[in-house]
Amino acid sequence: MDIAIVTGSAGLIGAESVRLFASRGYHVVGIDNNMRKYFFGKDASTAWSRRNLESTVHDYQHFNIDIRDQTFVNQVFAEFNSDVRIIIHTAAQPSHDWAASQPQVDFSVNANGTLNLLEACREFCPDASFVYTSTNKVYGDNPNQLPLIELDTRWELDPSHPFAEHGIDESMSVDHTTHSLFGVSKLAADALVQEYGRYFGMKTACFRGGCLTGPGHSGTRLHGFLSYLVKCALTGDEYTIYGHQGKQVRDNIHSADLVEMFWHFHQNPRCGEVYNAGGSRHSHCSMAEAISLIEELTDRKINVSYSDQSRVGDHIWYVSDTRKFQSHYPKWDYAHDFRTTVKQIVESHTARDRTASDASQQAIATDASTSIESVLAQLERTGVASCDSVRS
Ligand SMILES: NC(=O)c1ccc[n+]([C@@H]2O[C@H](COP(=O)([O-])OP(=O)(O)OC[C@H]3O[C@@H](n4cnc5c(N)ncnc54)[C@H](O)[C@@H]3O)[C@@H](O)[C@H]2O)c1
């Protein structure tokens, strides 16, 4: 049997990977301990996504283990051994700001956790493909040195710059720059993944994501800006923009389009590759443009506040050039544009809210009927009335 091991399987990219590889005949084994709830609180829990996978994906097998624990990781790999064809490693502490609050936890999850998985792969299934979800934060704030011009709703790159037409390619330096501690732990993992490809000849690749997004995100204040913006639009919660006049530009790739990249890589894997993997010029927006689109699609005004203090290492303009990947895998292309992606996020939040409200009405109804039953029982016990007479 062909096995795919997905870490962070209940997260946005992990769950999308589980679905795609299961639909293409793989037995998928997921590793996720819902550490996202520990990082960001119960609103960001991915327990709902795990339940969803277990009830809808045939034969999906979940392991509630921590990637920092080499013993448990090895036990999972030993069970499936050389049947493992691909590892998709998405588990991570994903936020800049959180990393600064607990640097050791951030580093141990992002860097040591990745090393544990590479070692397990080398020991039990060295021929498997190893896909790592890296980040454009490995470039630190070097992109902020590009010549930018301010337009009405966004920052834009000077049209004469070589990156202006297609975005930033993999030649951007990772040195002499402020990464944030998160950027550093991800860069350490990125370098390890490259090295296991170059030094040991393993089929490893780093996909340096721009903003990864989609309807499966459990967006929260510190991570998942589009999903969180939609949440704020629907709940009325305040959304704070940090710096750059709200004109900072991000590219946004739908989780399904990214996972298709992994699939194409796995069909013809290479060793120690690095790919920029974002929405590119195909799908990008400024914060202000995203807010307008979400207000239009939800028909609600977002309660926006503004802080002059930008986030450490935050990019003012980042658009990925994905042409290196496309030149290696020319059959891959985007299936989702920006508007479609945001629309799907709005629909999924609306559906999740409906489910939550049905569940809470059900709970109220159950509570009410339970208390009526207990009053009736008490009346009967004290001989005041029989349940049947009170009911009627
Ligand atoms: N979402 C983005 O915008 C973005 C951008 C660039 C790169 N990335 C990277 O892509 C990857 C996936 O991102 P995502 O948005 O799907 O993240 P996510 O937070 O939705 O999912 C990650 C999952 O990993 C799990 N996890 C965390 N620590 C773990 C541990 N120690 N052991 C086991 N499971 C653990 C979490 O519970 C969560 O379910 C991450 O590595 C992230 O750094 C994300």
- Residue by residue, pLDDT tens for the chain (392 residues) are 899 999 999 999 999 999 999 999 999 999 999 999 999 999 889 999 999 999 999 999 999 999 999 999 999 999 999 999 999 999 999 998 899 999 999 999 999 999 999 999 999 999 999 999 999 999 999 999 999 999 999 999 999 999 999 999 999 999 999 999 999 999 999 999 999 999 999 999 999 999 999 998 877 887 888 999 999 999 999 999 999 999 999 999 999 999 999 999 999 999 999 999 999 999 999 999 999 999 999 999 999 999 999 988 789 999 999 999 999 999 999 999 999 999 999 999 888 766 656 555 555 444 444 444 444 444 444 444 444 444 43
Rounded-to-integer distance, Cα 343 and Cα 341, Å: 5
- Pick from 69, 133, 255 the residue to mutate for probing ligand 1's pocket: most ligand atoms within 8 Å of its CB: 133
Which residues sit opposite 207 in a β-bridge?
Answer: 133, 275
Q: Residue 81 in contact with residue 3, Cβ under 8 Å?
A: no
pLDDT at site 383: 45
Distance 330 CA to ligand 1 centre (A): 27
Phi, psi of 25 (to 5 degrees): 95, 5
pTM of the model: 0.91
Of all protein residues, the one whose alpha carbon is nearest to atom 14 of ligand 1 is 12
Ligand 1 cavity residues, CB under 6 Å: 8, 10-14, 31-36, 46, 66-68, 90-92, 94, 109, 113, 133, 135, 209, 211-212, 224
